[in-house]
Structure 1
Amino acid sequence: MKQLCEGLKHPNCRILQLLLYQCHLTSTCCEALSSVFHINQTLIELDLQGNNIGDSGMSLLCEGLKQPNCKLQKLHLDRCGLTAACCQDLSSVLCSNQALTELHLSTNKLEDSGVRVLCQGLKHACCRLKSLLLHWCDLTAVACGDLASVLSTNQNLTKLCLSRNTLGDSGVSRLCEGLRHPDCRLQHLLNNSSLQVLEFWENDLGDLGVSLLCEGLKHPNCNLQDLGFKRCNITSACCDALASVLMKKPSLKLLRFSEEKLGDAGVSLLCEGLRHPNCKLQKLMFWQCDLTAACCEDLTAVLCSNQSLGELKIRNSKLGDAGSFKALEAPYLAHTGFDHQMPLFRSPITGPGKNATQPSPASQSLLSAFPVKLPHCPECRCGHRAQAEPQPPSGQERGWSPSVPAADGLPSVLPRDRGEEELL
């Protein structure tokens, strides 16, 4: 590592990013890395995730980070064996380093005492930090009071991540005090006009909690754009409240559900909001939400009326052939603004088998839903031949590749380099 640092300090070195993920580094290397910070003026990102540098190593790094010539902007220290003992050094860095804008400290045992010390630096006038990640840092409601005070004073901080911490209801209430402050500029985490992204992962909100949340989402000052729920114990009972949000908040562009028991009844209620002329939702995602073919008629009606919806993604659902026919018939899509983006991940649609040379009826229906003539591919088992020049859908210029063969004999309609993880 010392040899590498000598190269980083060379006048000809122009490296911008240095990723040393899980490289078995310890505190021994940190003094050499620290010396790089005040010499190398081009290095703006350092990733040390998964290296057990500990508090002693962090202290050595902070010596370099406090140097006036340090230009580092992003520092990743996830899973580095840090504790509350290092937070005083980090706080002093935040008070002096005006280049650092992104700090990752997830999966370190900082605890409430460490965050309290860290918040002293976050509230300093010289702090320019925009993004702070504290996933799985053994935090409780106590830390939320200190973080709320940061939200009300630090106008640079726009992203704060606190997942996998036992904050509880009282902790969230304390955070909301900071979020409601007029000087709060947080965008990613309701009377807060700056908040744009709100994600709930494995929080036991229940239907009542979501219904109460919707009252805040409908407030005139709320400009939320992205709302997601994953394993929050919600059912169709809250979908009427969510539909009312869709009717009243044209700012909402993305709505995601993962592993929630919405069922067909829930989708039917949501579709009432989706068909409303005020709804401007662009992306709708359902992952393992107990959907069947019964919901497809409502979804089809949405496709025929909502000209804003550009992506509909359904995964791990029992739509079956009949549901696919309803949702993907070309006559419906022909007169809408739908942008040909409807991956049906892991929905049971029967096929002819691996050795077949012709697509099944369900496959033919999927093919006909997309007005694209595919060139014959010798490796494609569907045997489809183009009758005319291909007419790519409107999304092609954004990276679509409709001619790539898929494993079940269907042409893939997924975007390049984008997988199922996009659902959440």
Structure 2
Amino acid sequence: MVESSRHLHTEHTPDRWSKPADDVLRRVIEKHKASLKKRFENISEGIIKPGAETPLNKIYTELYITEGESEGLNKEHEVLQVESASRAQTTEDTPINCNDIFKPLPGQEKHIRTVMTKGVAGIGKTVSVQKFILDWINGVANQNVDFIFPLPFRELNLVRVDQYSLHKLLLDFHPELKELKDGEEYKDCQVVFIFDGLDERRLPLNFQQNMISDLKQTSSVDVLMTSLIQGSLLHSAHIWITSRPAAVSQIPAHLIDQMTEVRGFNDPQKEEYFRKRISDESRASRIISHIKASRSLHIMCHIPVFCWIAATVLQQMLDNTQDIPKTLTEMFIHFLLIQTRRKDQKYQSGTETDQKKLLKPQKEILLKLGELAFKNLENGNLMFYEEDLKECGIDISKAVHSGICTEIFKEESVFHQRKVYCFVHLSIQEFLAAVFVFHSYVTKNFKVLKSLISEEHNQSIVAYLQSALGFKSQDHLHVLLKSAVHEALKSRNGHLDLFLRFLMGISLQSNQRLLKGLLNHKHSTSKSVDETCQYIKELNRKDLSPERCINLFHCLLEMNDHSMHKEIKKYLESPKNFKEKLSPAHCSALAHILLMSAEVLDEFDLKKYNTSDEGRRRLVPAVRCYRKARLAECTLRYKSCGIVATILQSPNSLTELDLSKNVLGDSGVQFLSNGLSSPHCKLQKLRLAECTLTDKSCGIVATVLQSPNSLTELDLSNNDLEDSGVQLLSNGLSSPYCKLQTLRLAECTLTDKSCGIVATVLQSPNSLTELDLSNNYLGDSGVLLLSNGLSSPHCKLQTLRLSDCLISEKGYICLASALYSNPSHLKELDLSYNHPGESGLKLLSVRLEDPVCKLEKLRTDHASELTLDSNTAYRFLSLSKGNRKVTRVDEEESYPHHTERFEKWPQVLCREGLSGRCYWEVERSGNGARISVAYKSIKRKVKSDDSALGHNDKSWSLECFPYSYYVWHNNKRTDILPAPSSSTVGVYLDWPAGTLSFYSVFSDTLTHLHTFHSTFTEPLYPAFRVHYNSSVSLCQI
């Protein structure tokens, strides 16, 4: 016999059975496989009739199955869950093949015994089970498995015997097992039980009751089920349960080893389905184009059954050159007409009269099915038994086997040839329920309408019925529609949402004309439609869940009211609306409504929305609707890049994207690269400044630049890319596919080596016109290397920024020489906050006056003029030299009382508040000092961390002693090793970039000591704390 293996993917050797008893087991397994193959090798899409089946492997399209489950409680109608899942589908998901359902994910070591797979109705759960079984039978996968026992709940519901052993139950479902004596053989076999359709169960499942463990012991079917799932019975077996989302919680979470979710078709899989389903390539392309053009239809096509409905309708309508449906109601009406027409070929012309004749013979059965659909809508029943049909007056022996019924309603032979019935999809059930309710309104069937009418509207409906009986033509349809809205809004899980959309759609006279054989409503409904639309728009949406808000928006679309698009646009254009706090759920709703719009908007600024981090994350999918997206400084993580990448991989209008100041890391750039490499990507400007990137990201970006792309501007500033990153990036910059014109690498911890790499790029054909290398440790040696590139005839740079790059007189001379060699391109040169010396500055200034040289703008800003503020000075600090020097003294100075004076610490602020880019130098003498910057709001009167420079979140300090240096912020100390010997310190503030740098200055040479990175929110004031016997002077530069 077979030893139980840990996972289902260890293949067995062929000669594993040698005993005579094993011959019996082998024979039973072969018979079992043959029986399952006969049952599962073919598939019928919707229609069940002899000969209509298609081999599963011929049309099977891989479904998007993911490990884990999408976020949130199941408070949405299942169609809306599909829409939510389609928005959430990103490259961060872990897709898995249905054959790998019991296989641990990479990096996992856990044993997976029980798997739960959830998914909305019609999404493909049962087809995934069918594929799993068929691939096992055909030797494609899971060949270590001996038995697979599918036990659908819809069949288990029909078991009538009270007591079963496990083997006896299996024999009833699989008679080919009869050669096995008592089921003891299962202990030594690899067995998989598949319980499909947990949501359809009518058996009790009580996991608190006594379980059984003996294979021979008899019990009720529900105890057998719970014992198998819980593991007390046949613990070695693997269990796979499938369910619609609402029923998942019926199995205790601790019994589930792995949760998976069937998301249906992703966008490429939709296209694959239609191309497999429709042999004519040209027709398939036209249908795909139409579905992509309708956002609502495109989302619904995540559900495979809806793909079948769409293919059925659109093929027929393209043949007849009819107007293509644009709403769900139109699509389902045409589906009903097409299926009816197939049953009666006499009415092919499609005129109103013919359509009336077409539906009239089927009217009785369709309305009875509508009654069945409506009555079972409240409890979400998808499966029906004979008693359910009889209750609605449906003659099972005739109706189910004739006419349109077989096209939209399925009969299945299950346990002991008993029958179970269902609509081919939940949406068809809801459509027919809406038709039935509207017909009840037309025929004045108050008994049916009463369940939808709220108390406040009862009198109006009674008045309508009385007036109708008196042959008055008043239109009271709006009363029914408003009441239906009211009832749908009360639902916690949205079970009436799609029904409401269909009811609203049917209220349009154009749709009633199509259903003329079913509905004989002779009065105009336009006033009622208008009044209902207005009612929906005036509802107080603050009290509604986002899911209900979204559905109301869909209802308006079904009634051809597109005014909400204008309202949303108006909301987005009004600054006052952004003051109101948005919950994460309402952010989801806003994103959804934006996504449904066909209009392309100009700019999306995520930061201006008043919401939480989670709320901003949920708004990210709305980027698809815009040309420009500003997502900077929104505490996004790498997963959001997956959402953006998905957008870039599908048709979009995005040309500018700013993700700066988010913790994306290299993983985020890896996700993003999938989108940047897509032929759909039109992105021209990409900003990733201060995103915690390393040199690895440069390699990823280089790969993008080496293939067709549209990028013309790239900002990678304020990341630790280092020289190794620039080396990797240069491979992309040298590619003929690279179109980059602007490249920003400011403050990327680069050295002179990077200048040599960039020079090599500039010396070969390239498209760069703007380059920013500011705030890097390039020095004169770096500028010397860079000048080789600037001198090249291939160099087309018009703007070069080298601010704060430790460049002295020698570097200026090199740049002047380069401009002399290649004077025809460079127009702007930024050398601010360097050390030019007199001759260096003079040489470059001459180039400005040279008529041959194109240089127009030369920035050489260097020092900031600062003065000490005596109103802030501690009383034992003396100011001198025009308030540019401060000395610690033993005697108290006679300063007047002032609210801004430091009273507990020997500190002083400068008068000037800085909020731009500034450089200053300080010379200290004596025992020590703190050279700092601080917000004006720092405390002054208390001797605590709140007022001490460097000990709070309002100040940043460099503390200097003769033999040791430290930096301080928010009471955290960092040592500077080794301590510099120079007594002069340079300070460079780039307030917009959020950086504060300290340098040791010796003979015009700057040595970097430390850089603080922060987001400054107020102007910064240079400040000093002076120790005993010490002084600090502001240098004249």
- TM-score, reference length from structure 1: 0.61
Larger displacement relative to structure 2 (235-244 or 87-96)? 87-96
Distance 1:80 1:201 in 2: 34
> 2:751 aligned with 1:235, yes or no?
yes
Distance 1:221 1:84 in 2: 41
Among 656, 664, 672, which residue is 1:159 paired with?
A: 656
- 2:607 aligns with 106
Distance 1:75 1:214 in 2: 44
Shift of 1:109: 6.1
Secondary structure class of the residue paired with 2:838: helix
Distance 2:749 2:782 in 1: 13
| CA displacement, residues 150-202 of structure 1 (integer Å, 9 cap, x when unaligned) | 11114300111111111111111111121111211111112353111111232
Q: 8 Å contact 2:600–2:627 — kept in the other structure?
A: no
Secondary structure class of the residue paired with 1:342: strand
Distance 2:573 2:736 in 1: 35
Secondary structure class of the residue paired with 1:289: coil
- 2:584 aligns with 84
Q: 8 Å contact 2:685–2:711 — kept in the other structure?
A: yes
| Structure with the larger strand share | 2
> 2:802 aligned with 1:300, yes or no?
no
Whose radius of gyration is greater, 1 or 2? 2
Q: Which one-letter code corresponds to 1:141 in the other structure?
A: Y
> 2:733 aligned with 1:209, yes or no?
no
- 1:115 aligns with 617
- 1:3 aligns with none
- 1:412 aligns with none
- 2:800 aligns with 284
- 1:145 aligns with 642
Distance 1:284 1:137 in 2: 30
Distance 2:817 2:578 in 1: 46
Q: 8 Å contact 1:83–1:114 — kept in the other structure?
A: no
> 2:842 aligned with 1:325, yes or no?
yes
Distance 1:261 1:160 in 2: 29
Among 143, 168, 174, which residue is 2:665 paired with?
A: 168
Distance 2:574 2:774 in 1: 31
Shift of 1:79: 8.6
Q: 8 Å contact 2:803–2:833 — kept in the other structure?
A: yes
Q: 8 Å contact 2:802–2:832 — kept in the other structure?
A: yes
- 2:402 aligns with none
1:367-406 aligned at under 5 Å gives the runs: none
> 2:594 aligned with 1:94, yes or no?
yes
Q: 8 Å contact 2:799–2:829 — kept in the other structure?
A: yes
- 1:310 aligns with 827
- 2:785 aligns with 269
Q: 8 Å contact 2:827–2:856 — kept in the other structure?
A: yes
| CA displacement, residues 219-274 of structure 1 (integer Å, 9 cap, x when unaligned) | 11110011112221111111111112222344211111221111111111111111
Distance 1:253 1:324, change over 3 A: same
Q: 8 Å contact 2:604–2:623 — kept in the other structure?
A: no
Q: 8 Å contact 1:112–1:143 — kept in the other structure?
A: no
Distance 1:161 1:144, change over 3 A: same
> 2:182 aligned with 1:182, yes or no?
no
- 1:257 aligns with 773
Secondary structure class of the residue paired with 1:251: coil
| Structure with the larger helix share | 2
Q: Which one-letter code corresponds to 1:186 in the other structure?
A: L
Distance 1:133 1:238 in 2: 30
Distance 1:179 1:166, change over 3 A: same
- 1:67 aligns with 564
- 2:858 aligns with 342
Larger displacement relative to structure 2 (336-345 or 269-278)? 336-345
Distance 1:80 1:103, change over 3 A: farther
Q: 8 Å contact 2:616–2:634 — kept in the other structure?
A: no
Distance 1:322 1:183 in 2: 53
| CA displacement, residues 73-129 of structure 1 (integer Å, 9 cap, x when unaligned) | 86778897556333312212322441522110127665478535642x445xxx3x1
Q: 8 Å contact 2:774–2:802 — kept in the other structure?
A: yes
Identity of aligned residues (%): 32
Distance 2:722 2:574 in 1: 36
User: Gaps spanning 5+ residues in structure 1: where?
Assistant: 1-37, 39-54, 349-419
| CA displacement, residues 335-394 of structure 1 (integer Å, 9 cap, x when unaligned) | 52323321211179xxxxxxxxxxxxxxxxxxxxxxxxxxxxxxxxxxxxxxxxxxxxxx
Distance 1:166 1:180, change over 3 A: same
Aligned residues: 294
Shift of 1:317: 0.5
Q: Which one-letter code corresponds to 2:843 in the other structure?
A: K
Distance 1:218 1:239 in 2: 15
Secondary structure class of the residue paired with 2:760: helix
Q: 8 Å contact 1:246–1:273 — kept in the other structure?
A: yes
Distance 1:246 1:66, change over 3 A: farther
Secondary structure class of the residue paired with 1:230: coil
Distance 1:246 1:112 in 2: 44
Q: 8 Å contact 1:320–1:347 — kept in the other structure?
A: no
| CA displacement, residues 263-314 of structure 1 (integer Å, 9 cap, x when unaligned) | 1111111111111101111011111111110112211112112211111121
Distance 2:646 2:683 in 1: 13
Q: Which one-letter code corresponds to 2:617 in the other structure?
A: V
User: Gaps spanning 5+ residues in structure 2: where?
Assistant: 1-536, 554-561, 687-704, 865-990, 994-1037
Distance 2:585 2:863 in 1: 50
Q: Which one-letter code corresponds to 2:589 in the other structure?
A: D
Q: 8 Å contact 1:152–1:182 — kept in the other structure?
A: yes
Distance 1:111 1:328 in 2: 50
- 2:480 aligns with none
Distance 1:78 1:323 in 2: 51
Among 631, 649, 661, which residue is 1:134 paired with?
A: 631
Q: 8 Å contact 1:203–1:231 — kept in the other structure?
A: yes
Distance 1:167 1:296, change over 3 A: same
Runs of 4+ in 1 over 4 A off after TM superposition: 61-66, 70-83, 107-114
Shift of 1:66: 6.8
Larger displacement relative to structure 2 (104-113 or 205-214)? 104-113
Distance 1:114 1:245 in 2: 39
Q: Which one-letter code corresponds to 1:224 in the other structure?
A: L
Q: 8 Å contact 1:145–1:175 — kept in the other structure?
A: yes
Q: 8 Å contact 1:196–1:224 — kept in the other structure?
A: yes
Q: 8 Å contact 2:600–2:653 — kept in the other structure?
A: no
Secondary structure class of the residue paired with 1:258: coil
Distance 2:654 2:829 in 1: 32
